[in-house]
Homo-oligomer: A and B are copies of this chain.
Amino acid sequence: MPPQQKPAIGALRLNADMGESFGSWKMGCDEQVMPHVDLANVACGFHASDPVTMRKTLRLAREYGVTIGAHPAYPDLVGFGRRSMACAPEEVEAMVLYQVGALAGLCRAEGTALGYVKPHGALYNDMMRDNTVLEAVMRALAAFDATLPLMVMATRDAAPTQALADKHGVSLWFEAFTDRAYDGEGYLLSRQKPGAVHHETAKIVDQARRIARGEPLIASDGSELVLSADALCVHGDNPESIEAIKAIREAVQRQTTQRGGS
């Protein structure tokens, strides 16, 4: 199977979580999703994955020319890294380095390299609301390789996060979500709230298109919300969601071509 064409530079890149199987347990449809995304967030063994699974995932990503990102997490396999843990900053820093290094080692063995880092689950959420955690992650990246972008959530005001990144000499990629509603600050509306998750492909694709065009979304408080994003987060857990990824990709590519041509 030949590698898919990737979107032109400047386009919104699609990222998806990959390599989340663990030992004998399978998760995700990596082989079906990989051809349709640009960035693979590869689990590093703390919330999911194991050395053999990581290696297979890297080979699959390389086959499709997909950029590999490290997806470090809290050490919580049974909770899938989704439970916030009160870790000290030096623990966060060291655990990110350990996981990024482990994946980088497997990349090196496969003749490929890491392209970015995106924390997973509760570590990602904690990082977005607690600068102590965010700065610990940034220190890890700055120490390991300051040229590796850190993927963070695009919110209404990117300035505070950007200021911290500048302080640590780290570059950022901002990602937006296509299947989630936003609150007025540009944070994801809690899943407990009605309408928090979009289920219809048409709505998801429309949100993707608006973000790609730089058009505003309507936040849950009724305000207009423009998200400046480098990447879109997509999920490919079942056949329907894989179809949605294809539709998002087509919408985003067409839009990029139009912007590129204007």
Q: Taking beta carbons and an 8 Å cutoff, which residues of A are in contact with B?
A: 21-27, 45, 48, 50-52, 54-55, 75-80, 83-87, 90-91, 94-95, 97-106, 108-110, 122, 140, 143-145
Determine if A108 and B98 form an interchain contact, defined as CB atoms under 8 angstroms apart.
Answer: no
Oligomeric state, in number of copies? 4
A24 to chain B, nearest CB (A): 4
Determine if B51 and A97 form an interchain contact, defined as CB atoms under 8 angstroms apart.
Answer: yes
Select one of B26, B101, B103 contacting A106, CB under 8 A. Answer: B101
Select one of B87, B90, B103, B145 contacting A83, CB under 8 A. Answer: B87
Determine if A101 and B108 form an interchain contact, defined as CB atoms under 8 angstroms apart.
Answer: yes
Determine if A24 and B80 form an interchain contact, defined as CB atoms under 8 angstroms apart.
Answer: yes
Determine if A83 and B86 form an interchain contact, defined as CB atoms under 8 angstroms apart.
Answer: yes
A74 (CB) vs chain B CBs: closest residue? B85
Bound complex: CA A108 to CA B27 (Å): 32
Select one of B48, B54, B97 contacting A105, CB under 8 A. Answer: B97
Bound complex: CA A171 to CA B109 (Å): 17
A100 (CB) vs chain B CBs: closest residue? B105
Bound complex: CA A104 to CA B107 (Å): 13
Select one of B23, B79, B97, B102 contacting A79, CB under 8 A. Answer: B23
Contacts of A105 in B (CB 8 A): 97-98, 100-102, 104-105, 144
